Amino acid sequence: MSPPPVPLTRSYELCRRLNARHGRSYYLATLLLPAWKRPHVHALYGFARHADEIVDSFTMTGDREAALDELAGRLAPALAGEATGDPVLPAFAQTVRCFGIDHGDVEAFLESMRADLTVTRYDTYDDLLGYMEGSAAVIGTMMLPVLEPLPGMAERAREPARQLGLAFQLTNFLRDVAEDLSRGRVYLPLADLDRFGVSVADLGRSAPTPALRDLLAFEAERARAHYRRAAEGVALLTPSSRPCVRAAHELYGGILDRIEAAGYDVLGGRATVPRRRRLAVFARHLSAAAAAGRAERRAAGALRPGWEGR
């Protein structure tokens, strides 16, 4: 028997909780968005996390491929407006429909999740970029309609959105070298390991070798190049979305700073941005977010007769 349909409000709330629990830095940045945008960002995050848990969770003991197939099978009817008992799909499908999000991006994301079930190595950075196109770049382009490019700027904003997704993903790969290896996966390109004289076994040591530190510094600079290209897109967004994206950019870039400050030792512990710094970044962008939100509400109110700006 199929589970009963999940109410839309409950689905959005579950997605919010997933974001708050698993993406603390990103969740903090979303609080800088206007209230009406946040649930949609949470829905996109929730769907991505939902699929990621199928392929990556240490606690899941069932058939991961079958579970991913089931999710994909429930997705098409949900996107068509059918009720579903899946906890995150009602909110995700509603957001996709509201913003006209490209279904091709959704399919590309699921394909990359499926690759994680069988592919454990990538020979070159171009090969890795092919995977990240679905696992990360399309997350940026799915978020883009919610973040609202300025009129006429949607096409120009698409590439920076892709680049921000790639930057975030590569940052995660550098932070999670040891954790990924425990799952049998290596996301550092094998050609780069060869170039720097690093073996896969070196990724499992208790501390990085000098060669591994050099390799991680090289990959970190690659990530920073993606961040630089992404930064060009912030000005192409509506002002009420800019503080959120700037904060997310700064917080995730802060992970790279922490990795660098630790001498690229990503094997002894997970690099995290301290809570004090996260709150400082949030506070630094809060006034701009509040001002942009007030301006947005005034502009909306000017279109409604009788609205008095309160």
Please report whether residue 139 resides in a domain: yes
- Neighbour tally for 8: CB within 10 Å: 15
Distance in angstroms (rounded) separating the CA atoms of residues 269 and 77: 42
- Total domains, the chain: 1
Residue 1 is predicted with a pLDDT of 56
Residue 263 is predicted with a pLDDT of 96
Please report whether residue 201 resides in a domain: yes
Q: What is the mean pLDDT of residues 185-208?
A: 97
- Provide the CATH number for the domain around residue 231: 1.10.600.10
Residue 303 is predicted with a pLDDT of 54
* Residue among 283, 138, 126, 145 nearest 190 (CA): 126
pLDDT of 90-130, one tens digit each?
999 999 999 999 999 999 999 999 999 999 999 999 999 99
- Percent of the chain at pLDDT > 90 equals 84
Please report whether residue 21 resides in a domain: yes
pLDDT at residue 29 above 70? yes
- Percent of the chain at pLDDT > 70 equals 95
CA dihedral 292, 294, 300, 303 (to 10 degrees): -120
pLDDT of 133-157, one tens digit each?
999 999 999 999 999 999 999 999 9
3 state DSSP class of 275: helix
Please report whether residue 15 resides in a domain: yes
Distance in angstroms (rounded) separating the CA atoms of residues 244 and 271: 22
Please report whether residue 40 resides in a domain: yes
Least confident of 18-22, 54-58, 299-303: 299-303
Segment 188-196 long-range contacts (CB within 8 Å, at least 24 positions apart): 188/215, 188/219, 189/122, 189/123, 189/124, 189/125, 189/127, 189/128, 190/121, 190/122, 190/123, 190/124, 191/123, 191/124, 191/125, 192/125, 192/218, 192/219
Please report whether residue 310 resides in a domain: no
Q: Backbone phi, then psi, for 14, in 5-degree steps?
A: -65, -40
pLDDT of 80-99, one tens digit each?
999 999 999 999 999 999 99
Please report whether residue 307 resides in a domain: no
Residue 1, both tokens? 């028997």
Residue 307: band (very low, low, confident or very high) from pLDDT cuts 50, 70, 90: very low
* Domain of residue 120, residue span: 8-301
pLDDT at residue 57 above 90? no
Average pLDDT of the chain is: 93
